[in-house]
Structure 1
Amino acid sequence: MSERQLQPTVTGFTADGTHVLRARVYYEDTDAGGVVYHANYLRFAERGRTEYLRDIGVFQSELADAEGVYFVVRRSEIDFRLPARLDDALEIRTVIAGIKGASFLVEQTIAKAETDEYLVKVDSTIACLDRKGRPVRVPKSVKSKLDRQDGAVS
């Protein structure tokens, strides 16, 4: 099966605890040459983190309503290796690399589907804030779910 025939938007966990989100590169993601615009890799990474959280039972809108806690990107480091192009099937692979008091570390790679070599690597620190924008501890309800994943480190 060619990469252009792979199903987009499929999520799940691998045996080693890595979360995988499949996505397709659309025209809106690219520049005039059909190459993914560099800032759009942050959008792919955000989708991967969001689907990871949903798949472990953490819904950000419910968390905000119930506990007044929000996740924000505090820091991201991006390593661009190779470009993605229009119509490429991608896999956004997400692993929780560590949990601290008021934040957690996320390692992500974006690769062409069913390949091992990544195109882009994104390492982010996700901070937890209250309604007033002050740092708060990662809620126990979230931490326990993050801890259950094989890739999580306390």
Structure 2
Amino acid sequence: MSRQTHRFPVTVYYEDTDMGGIVYHANYLRYIERARSDYVRQLGNDQNAMRESGIVWVVRKIEAEYLATAKFEDELVVETDVHEVSGVRLTMVQVVRRGDTEIFRATVMAVCMNKDGRPVRLPAEIRASLQ
């Protein structure tokens, strides 16, 4: 699909690291979550309005690869690309880079759910903004 890659800068803070000074593995999930939230906000998706209408985004599946380490004060960029949009799911590939070095890669499948926890179709305006 021909969409523009979304880029989101991240600075590694001391609190992001473990005793060895390396980014703790779970923090990459936080970085990519922030990037996804920023991306859908830039597309005009108001997640608060969605929630008030009874629909929320949830992650259904993540496949993650840790390829290299990041350390305190590294300047990283999270790149997000939409891979697939269907009636009920959105699949994105997210890559965390330090300069030209790819250090983390994830494929993330997100769906929308209603207040009863049941999957619902992605709102038409969201599908349209992603295609």
TM class, shorter-length: over 0.9
Displacement of 1:102 in angstroms is: 1.2
Unaligned ranges ≥5, structure 1: 1-14, 148-154
3-state SS of 1:126 partner: strand
Does residue 1:108 correspond to 2:94, yes or no? Answer: yes
Question: 2:54 pairs with 65, 68, 71, which one?
Answer: 68
- DSSP-derived class of the 1:41 partner: helix
Superposed counterparts of 1:5-154, under 5 Å? 17-65=4-52, 67-112=53-98, 114-115=99-100, 117-147=101-131
CA drift of 1:42 comes to 0.3
Residues in 1 aligned to 2:124 and 2:47: alpha-carbon distance in whole angstroms: 14
How many aligned residue pairs are there?
A: 130
- Where does residue 152 of structure 1 map in the other structure? none
Q: Secondary structure at the match of 2:31?
A: helix
Contact 2:3 2:82 in 1 (8 A): no
TM-score norm. by structure 2 comes to 0.94
Structure 2 unmatched ranges of 5 or more = none
Query: What letter matches 1:64 in structure 2?
Result: R
Q: Distance in 2 between matches of 1:46 and 1:59?
A: 16
Moved over 3 A (4+): none
- Alignment partners' CA distance in 2, 1:16 and 1:104: 14
Identity of aligned residues (%): 35
| Residues 2-46 of structure 1 deviation map (CA, whole Å, 9 limit, x = unaligned) | xxxxxxxxxxxxx96000000100111110111000011000010
Partners of 1:59 and 1:83 lie apart in 2 by 34
Q: TM-score, normalised by structure 1?
A: 0.81
* Cα displacement string for residues 123-154 of structure 1 (whole angstroms, at most 9, x for unaligned residues): 1100110111100000001111111xxxxxxx
